[in-house]
Amino acid sequence: MIPRQHDFNTINHHPFWAAGKLTLLCLVALLVSCTSTPPPPTPVAAQYDFVTATPSPTETPEPTVTATPPPTGTPTHTPTPTSTLTPTPTPSPTPTNTATPAPTPTLVPQRLLLPPEGGSTQFGEAITPGEVKRYVLEGQRGQTLSVRFLNSLGIKLIVYGADGTTFVSDGANATTWQGQLPATQPYFIDVKSVATVPANFTMEVMLAVDDSPPDDLAATRLEFEPGAFGTQVSNNIDSGQTQRYVVEGQAGQTLLARFPTGLGVKLIIFGADGAILLPDSANATSWQGVLPDAQDYLIDVKSVAGVPVDYSLEVVLPPVAGEPPGQSRSAAERIEFEPGSPVAQLQGRVDPGQFRRYVIEMGAGQVMLVRFPTGLGVQLVITGEDGTILLPDSAHANSWQGQLPATQNYLIDVRSVAGTPVDYTMEVVIPSSSSETLAPERIQFQPGATSTKVGGSLDPGQVQRYVLAAAAEQDLQIRFLTGFGVTFVVFGQDGTILVPDSADATSWQGQLPATQDYFIDVQSTLSTPTNYTLEVVVP
Query: Which pLDDT belongs to residue 173?
Result: 82
Strands 422-429 and 367-374: antiparallel
Give yes or no for residue 154 having a pLDDT over 70.
Answer: yes
Query: Which pLDDT belongs to residue 90?
Result: 58
Average model confidence (pLDDT) for the chain? 77
pLDDT band at 536 (very low <50, low <70, confident <90, very high): very high
Boundaries of every domain in the chain: 1-37+44-57, 117-208, 219-316, 328-429, 437-537
Q: What is the rounded CA–CA span in Å between residue 60 and residue 41?
A: 12
Query: Which pLDDT belongs to residue 132?
Result: 93
Q: Higher pLDDT residue, 239 or 220?
A: 220
Element (H, E) at 8: helix 5-12
Q: Edge-to-edge, what's the strand order for the sheet holding 530-537?
A: 451-458, 530-537, 475-483, 507-511
**What are the beta bridge partners of residue 120?**
206
Burial class (CB in 10 A: 0-12, 13-18, 19+), 479: middle
Query: Which pLDDT belongs to residue 50?
Result: 43
Predicted confidence (pLDDT) per residue in 32-44, tens digit: 554 445 555 554 4
Q: What is the rounded CA–CA span in Å between residue 412 and residue 68?
A: 142
CATH class of 437-537: mainly beta
pLDDT band at 49 (very low <50, low <70, confident <90, very high): very low
Query: Which pLDDT belongs to residue 136?
Result: 93
Give yes or no for residue 236 having a pLDDT over 50.
Answer: yes
- 3 state SS of 453: strand
CA angle 390, 427, 406 (to 5 degrees): 30
CA 388, distance to chain mean position in Å, is: 37
CATH 1.10.260.40, domain 219-316, yes or no: no
Sign of the Cα torsion 362, 368, 373, 374 reads positive
Query: Which pLDDT belongs to residue 245?
Result: 96
| Mean pLDDT of the region 190-201 | 88
Q: Higher pLDDT residue, 39 or 114?
A: 114
Beta carbons within 8 Å of 104's beta carbon, 6+ residues apart: none
Q: Do residues 320 and 253 touch, judged by C-beta distance below 8 A?
A: yes
pLDDT band at 524 (very low <50, low <70, confident <90, very high): confident
Predicted confidence (pLDDT) per residue in 98-111, tens digit: 555 555 567 789 99
- 3 state SS of 71: coil
pLDDT band at 447 (very low <50, low <70, confident <90, very high): confident
Q: Edge-to-edge, what's the strand order for the sheet holding 486-492?
A: 437-442, 463-470, 516-524, 486-492, 497-499
Q: What is the rounded CA–CA span in Å between residue 69 and residue 492?
A: 129
Query: Which pLDDT belongs to residue 392?
Result: 81
Q: What is the rounded CA–CA span in Å between residue 158 and residue 167?
A: 8
Q: How many CA atoms lie within 13 A of 224 on its CB side?
A: 20
Which segments within 304-363 are labelled E, that is strand?
309-316, 333-334, 343-350, 355-362
Sign of the Cα torsion 508, 513, 515, 517 reads negative
Q: What is the rounded CA–CA span in Å between residue 451 and residue 444?
A: 9
pLDDT band at 493 (very low <50, low <70, confident <90, very high): confident
- Amino acid making up residue 234: S
Query: Which pLDDT belongs to residue 323?
Result: 43
CATH 2.60.120.380, domain 117-208, yes or no: yes
CA angle 182, 116, 210 (to 5 degrees): 65
Query: Which pLDDT belongs to residue 8?
Result: 47
Question: Residue 510: which of 192, 211, 177 has the closest Cα?
Answer: 177
Which CATH code, of 3.30.1490.190, 2.60.120.380, 3.90.78.10, 3.40.50.1370, is assigned to 328-429?
A: 2.60.120.380
Predicted confidence (pLDDT) per residue in 270-329, tens digit: 998 888 888 887 788 888 888 888 899 999 999 887 788 899 998 988 776 444 343 334
Question: Residue 492: which of 419, 416, 387, 401 has the closest Cα?
Answer: 387
Query: Which pLDDT belongs to residue 3?
Result: 47
Q: Higher pLDDT residue, 65 or 411?
A: 411
Q: What is the rounded CA–CA span in Å between residue 159 and residue 174?
A: 10
| Mean pLDDT of the region 37-52 | 47
Matching CATH topology for 117-208 and 437-537?
Answer: yes
pLDDT band at 159 (very low <50, low <70, confident <90, very high): very high
Query: Which pLDDT belongs to residue 322?
Result: 43
Report the 10 Å Cβ neighbour count for 447. Answer: 4
| Mean pLDDT of the region 518-533 | 86
Q: How many CA atoms lie within 13 A of 166 on its CB side?
A: 10
Predicted confidence (pLDDT) per residue in 364-420, tens digit: 888 888 888 877 788 888 988 887 888 887 777 888 878 888 888 999 999 887 767
Element (H, E) at 16: helix 15-34
Q: What is the rounded CA–CA span in Å between residue 156 and residue 124?
A: 14
Give yes or no for residue 30 having a pLDDT over 60.
Answer: no
Give yes or no for residue 55 having a pLDDT over 50.
Answer: no
Give yes or no for residue 85 having a pLDDT over 90.
Answer: no
Q: What 3 state SS string does 434-480 have?
A: CCCEEEEEECCCCCCCCEEEEEEEECCCCEEEEEEEECCCCEEEEEE
CA separation, residue 467 to residues 172, 392, 454, 490, 520 (Å): 21, 22, 12, 10, 6
Q: Higher pLDDT residue, 9 or 313?
A: 313
Q: What is the rounded CA–CA span in Å between residue 385 and residue 407?
A: 10
Predicted confidence (pLDDT) per residue in 452-490, tens digit: 999 888 887 788 889 999 998 899 999 999 888 889 988
Query: Which pLDDT belongs to residue 351?
Result: 84
